[in-house]
Structure 1
Amino acid sequence: MILIIIVTFIVIIALSRLITKPLIKMKEETEKLSRGDTKVELNEHYNDELGVLAHSINRLAEDLERVKQERNDFLSSIAHELRTPLTYLKGYADIAAREQTDKKERIKYLKIIKEEANNLSSMIQHLFQLAKMDENTFKIEPEKCEVKPLILQAKEKVYPLISAYGADVQVECPDNIFVYADPVRFTQVMVNLLDNAIQYSGESPSVSLHVKPQRDKVTITVQDEGPGVPEESLPYLFNRLYRTDKSRSRNSGGSGLGLAIVKEIVEMHGGRIGVSNQGGLRVEMLWPKEGNV
């Protein structure tokens, strides 16, 4: 009996150490994660729940490291994007303030200052919207609404751009086509897409917008006749601050945030959006007819 008790005691101690040692290690590694240290390496070779837990903690560490890197890259990009217009504002303001600057040149520089201030204001507004989306405080109020009036309203909003570029924007949308969407956000999406298509379609832009009903979705396609984008850039067009041509985008006022917001809004409605090169850049969206948000 004494021998049995001793052997049992030894076995219990051995099993306890075998079980508790990896648990203590996991506890230490999770404490490192809570301090922001994502360099975690746990043994995943256990063929039981401990192995599954170790695998989950390792994946969590990898995801946190990726999010941390994306955050740092995003903040770095934002700092760069904000620094550029601010540099322009300061430089042109200094030139305009010089006594030897004549009236014509001063008006020219003040116009540039106004344009850069507008670009900066637009970028900050986009960043504010993206921040609200990340915090899940960006609200939509979807309802059943007719597509054609909203698209014509969006076209009217971009009329100054259409006039400035001499663009031809054709809309093909049957009457009595309805989607389940927040009308304000739907219009915002269409304005962004039309704006993007007009600006990057080259000289005398030609843009077509087609609406086609399906069984439970509505397909909306925005097609331009520009040069399109490189095939390797297509998967990244909806990434925040991504540009295929940084200099051209900046000169035309782009911030690389508009398409990211478009994608977020479409997906918040339960829709989908994609891009392809088909004689220019083709953006295709699927909007739900019924409420499934």
Structure 2
Amino acid sequence: MNTKNSSSATNTNTSFNKDRPKRFFIGISLKLFFAFWLAILTSALISYIVIQTFRHSPIQEEANPQQLEILNNLARKIEGKHTVKFQQLQKRFHKQHNQDLLIKKIGTAKLYSPRDHGWSNVRGYLKKHSLENPVTIDFGFTKVTSSPPFFVNNSKYQLFSAEKLPRKSIVSLLVQLPMAIRILMLLLISFLLCWLLAKSFTSPLIAIQKASKDIGEGKLTTRITKFDQRADEFGALAHSFNQMAEQLENNISSHQRLLGDVSHELRSPLTRLQLAVALAEKNIGNTAEQQKHLSRCEMEVERLDEMIADVLTLSRLEHSQKAFACDDTNLNHLVSQVVTDCQYFASSKDVSIEFKESGKYTLLADDKLLASAISNVLNNAVKYSANNQVVTVELTQQHEQIMLSVFDNGPGVPDEMLDKLFKPFFRVADARDRSSGGTGLGLAIAQQAILMHHGEIIAENIKPSGLKITIVLPMAKMG
């Protein structure tokens, strides 16, 4: 019964998590959509009110003499006739004067005009106003001149000449549409634009939200590939997210790799320690043999202690966010001290360390941390140098950088392994490194210490044999 309930609860949670991105997408999309749509409709309404407020009103002015003369001549020709074909009259007038002719029957306010929708405002104005005296009316898009009233078959008429309407544009065509159609078009266009705008905003947010959820579930290879090339804030956000995800993946992978390496490296000395303890117990009473195995136990314990100390040091350097103590450091004096200390170990192999300096150098550094890094590099060079050889340390300047180079005459490192030289527990030859007592962490610790000083450490082979490790450090800015 409990199993079923647990399974049901798990299925419910899984279903809820699957529906969550979809509900998030719908929710934020609708909110943005309605916000944009309301903003556009409000802006359109305000714009319409402003346009109506400042809309050009027809202005009456003194009649144009030339137009008035043309209309009077035409009125005299048709005045007194029993019948007049207005459409033919309008066509002839348009052909002769390249203008439109409007005819108004004053008694009934009936207006004979072109059927074009562009004349709607003119027709409305002429029907509404009684223009007994000749005037010219400026409508903004055309000018209309009126004639004095005259009679045709006992009916009172008035002629109006109008300039040709300008060529129709999209705006003028839209203005001529009925108000209901214009409102419907506004709603449809604003709907589509707002939906596209809302979608363009929500799609990156949904992608980032989904990627965050995947990373939270342990999918560390998740990246946002669809929007990281955009040249806007969303593109920058996606790029930053990818950088964060990559750094997170590297850190976790580094932790996992370090944990695996530590487990592997601890197994060997622990196995040897257990074997030595067993042999010591087996040889109780045999003082010489027992002392031999106990000495082995002591040596393995010292190796374990050294390895654990190195692991803790490396972990602290890799992940410490605290600023270390920086001060003006005389690098020449610091390197000289390290060389003197390392010479004690080198003398046991009949190896000599030669220190060359081409100037006096000062930089901001943590003395102990930087000395530890240089010591690890120098001890590594001595360790792999043959007896009766010389290890050279050179301190020079290149542009605004200090170059500390350590040369040895050892066997060097295969070129394809140079990049791995500063990884924790990396060994070119495991048997040789273990016989030399190394843990495989010295150069990794040195690299982290140099990185904390905003420098870099580079390894390269030298001919005919040997290895050169260069530490590059920034010089102190002199005030």
TM-score (norm. length: structure 2): 0.53
3-state DSSP class of the match of 1:158?
helix
Partner residue, 2:418: 234
Partner residue, 2:351: 167
Matching of residues 1-293 of structure 1 within 5 Å? 1=180, 3-4=184-185, 7=188, 10-11=191-192, 14-15=195-196, 16=198, 19-21=201-203, 23-38=205-220, 40=222, 42=224, 44=226, 49=232, 50=234, 53-54=237-238, 57=241, 60-100=244-284, 102-133=286-317, 134-137=319-322, 139-148=324-333, 150-173=334-357, 177-180=360-363, 181-213=365-397, 216-278=400-462, 279-291=465-477
* Greater alpha carbon shift after TM alignment, 220-229 vs 107-116: 107-116
Give unmatched runs, 5+ long, in structure 2.
1-179
Deviation at 1:158, TM superposition (A): 2.9
Deviation at 1:210, TM superposition (A): 2.3
Deviation at 1:230, TM superposition (A): 0.6
TM-score (norm. length: structure 1): 0.82
Q: Distance in 2 between matches of 1:160 and 1:198?
A: 11
Q: Distance in 1 between matches of 2:236 and 2:208?
A: 12
Q: RCO higher in 1 or 2 (8 Å CA, sep ≥ 6)?
A: 1
Map Cα deviations across residues 261-282 of structure 1 (whole Å, 9 max, x no partner): 2122223223332121113011
Q: Distance in 1 between matches of 2:231 and 2:374?
A: 52
Map Cα deviations across residues 214-248 of structure 1 (whole Å, 9 max, x no partner): 56443322111111111111122112222211222
Residue 104 to residue 194, structure 1, CA distance change in 2 (3 Å): farther
- In 2, are the aligned partners of 1:177 and 1:213 still within 8 Å (CA)? no
Residue 263 to residue 54, structure 1, CA distance change in 2 (3 Å): closer
- In 1, are the aligned partners of 2:351 and 2:385 still within 8 Å (CA)? no
Map Cα deviations across residues 24-80 of structure 1 (whole Å, 9 max, x no partner): 343233122233333536561686645665565456545543443332222111111
Map Cα deviations across residues 131-185 of structure 1 (whole Å, 9 max, x no partner): 222122372433232514x3343234334422332222222346x7233233322
Q: Percent identity?
A: 28
Deviation at 1:260, TM superposition (A): 1.4
Q: Distance in 1 between matches of 2:296 and 2:284?
A: 19
Which protein has the larger Cα radius of gyration, Structure 1 or Structure 2?
Answer: 2
Residue 142 to residue 39, structure 1, CA distance change in 2 (3 Å): same
Give unmatched runs, 5+ long, in structure 1.
none
Q: Distance in 2 between matches of 1:291 and 1:123?
A: 38
- In 2, are the aligned partners of 1:95 and 1:101 still within 8 Å (CA)? no
Q: Distance in 1 between matches of 2:331 and 2:211?
A: 54
- In 2, are the aligned partners of 1:198 and 1:207 still within 8 Å (CA)? yes
